[in-house]
């Protein structure tokens, strides 16, 4: 957001104030004696806003007489809000702890009957919601980077499909490799190798039957010393290699790759159209740039 000079207005804004008061009809409850304050947050598919506006204090003098607090005018969020969280201080406290989650964006009332000891985690200090368009551009830039580099970036589990194990029965070709090259480096680990044997049974190859060379890029998998690959049924996708690839956390992705993504994201953020009307007439973003957004899903025609 900082690179693209996007301000916080593109995020879901935190809620306004909640109205809090003792129950209109005095009734015993569990809210501890003392002063309590309330606030809310909005939750979207991407995250949670920071704490909203703090309510006026409500004092429970004797919870055996009137120990419930009625919350009204609970703010409703925008179209992206899927739920809301309510936070409250312990008696006389200043830290806002989770009171309840409203699993909707419609209810405007809630009755608090929770003791201080049952309050949960603290309210967030940072807004982790995001603009859906920005998320789309990030995903698009990541896919483009992976396609350009033929690499996996953040950690992901993938399946590679083969019609058979690499086998060369003709002695004339004995010098050819009998290994698999696993694309999309860096390889972290091989989870499993599964194959369909000649009888049609699905078999998981024992890990001691093959060796993994994760240092090479692309990585290589070959039979263990003195062994050979088993026979498979002649069918499509008879062998499945499941593996984990990627640099790890997003921060572990090389800086040059992250910078490339930032430039691409900012370009797409600031240019929502392929043709822009400027002071010098029409300006067109190069078609190769726009059409390149489809490359990760492009299928080459078979001859």
219 part of a folded domain: yes
State if pTM tops 0.75: no
For residue 7, pLDDT over 70 is answered with no
Q: What is the mean pLDDT of residues 194-216?
A: 95
124 part of a folded domain: no
95 part of a folded domain: yes
159-169 pLDDT, tens digit each: 999 999 986 54
223-266 pLDDT, tens digit each: 999 899 999 999 999 999 999 999 998 889 999 999 999 988 88
Query: For residue 173, what pLDDT is reported?
Result: 46
Query: For residue 74, what pLDDT is reported?
Result: 98
**Domain count within the chain:** 3
63-81 pLDDT, tens digit each: 999 999 999 999 999 888 9
Closest CA to 77 of 97, 114, 106: 106
Place of tokens 């949670």: 48
Domain extent, residue 77, equals 8-118
113-168 pLDDT, tens digit each: 999 999 999 999 988 887 777 888 888 899 989 988 999 999 999 999 999 998 65
Q: What is the DSSP letter of 48?
A: B
Query: For residue 253, what pLDDT is reported?
Result: 92
36-60 pLDDT, tens digit each: 999 999 999 889 999 999 999 999 9
Q: How far apart are CA 73 and CA 37, in angstroms?
A: 15
Can you say how many angstroms the Cα of residue 140 is from the centroid of all Cα atoms in its chain?
14
Per-residue CA distances from 130 to 9, 125, 263 (Å): 10, 15, 19
Q: What is the DSSP letter of 90?
A: P
125 part of a folded domain: no
Query: For residue 302, what pLDDT is reported?
Result: 53
More confident residue, 90 or 289: 90
Q: How far apart are CA 146 and CA 137, in angstroms?
A: 14
Can you say how many angstroms the Cα of residue 294 is from the centroid of all Cα atoms in its chain?
22
Q: What is the mean pLDDT of residues 202-222?
A: 94
Query: For residue 300, what pLDDT is reported?
Result: 63
> Same domain, yes or no, for 227 and 259?
no
Per-residue CA distances from 291 to 103, 147, 157 (Å): 41, 14, 28
218 part of a folded domain: yes
């Amino acid at each position: 957001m900082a690179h693209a000079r996007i301000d916080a207005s593109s995020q879901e804004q935190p809620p306004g104030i909640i109205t809090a008061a003792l129950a209109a009809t005095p009734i015993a409850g569990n809210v501890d004696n003392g002063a309590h304050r309330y606030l809310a947050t909005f939750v979207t598919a991407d995250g949670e806003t920071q704490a909203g506006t703090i309510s006026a204090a409500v004092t429970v003098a004797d919870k055996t007489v009137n120990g419930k607090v009625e919350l009204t005018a609970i703010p409703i969020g925008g179209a992206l809000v899927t739920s809301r969280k309510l936070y409250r201080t312990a008696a006389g406290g200043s830290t806002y702890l989770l009171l309840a989650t409203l699993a909707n964006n419609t209810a405007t009332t809630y009755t608090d009957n929770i003791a201080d000891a049952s309050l949960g985690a603290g309210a967030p200090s940072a807004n982790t919601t995001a603009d859906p368009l920005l998320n789309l551009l990030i995903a698009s830039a990541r896919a483009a980077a992976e396609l350009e580099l033929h690499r996996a970036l953040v950690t992901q589990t993938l399946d590679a499909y083969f019609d058979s194990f690499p086998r060369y029965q003709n002695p004339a070709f004995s010098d050819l490799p009998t290994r698999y090259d696993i694309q999309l480096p860096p390889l972290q680990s091989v989870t499993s190798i599964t194959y369909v044997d000649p009888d049609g049974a699905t078999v998981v190859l024992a890990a001691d039957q093959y060796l993994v060379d994760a240092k090479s890029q692309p990585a290589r998998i070959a039979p263990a010393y003195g062994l050979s690959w088993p026979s498979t049924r002649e069918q499509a996708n008879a062998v499945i290699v499941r593996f984990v690839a990627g640099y790890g956390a997003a921060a572990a992705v090389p800086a040059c790759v992250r910078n490339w993504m930032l430039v691409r994201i900012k370009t797409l953020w600031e240019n929502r159209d392929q043709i822009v009307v400027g002071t010098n007439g029409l300006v067109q973003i190069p078609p190769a740039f726009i059409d390149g957004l489809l490359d990760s899903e492009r299928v080459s025609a078979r001859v």
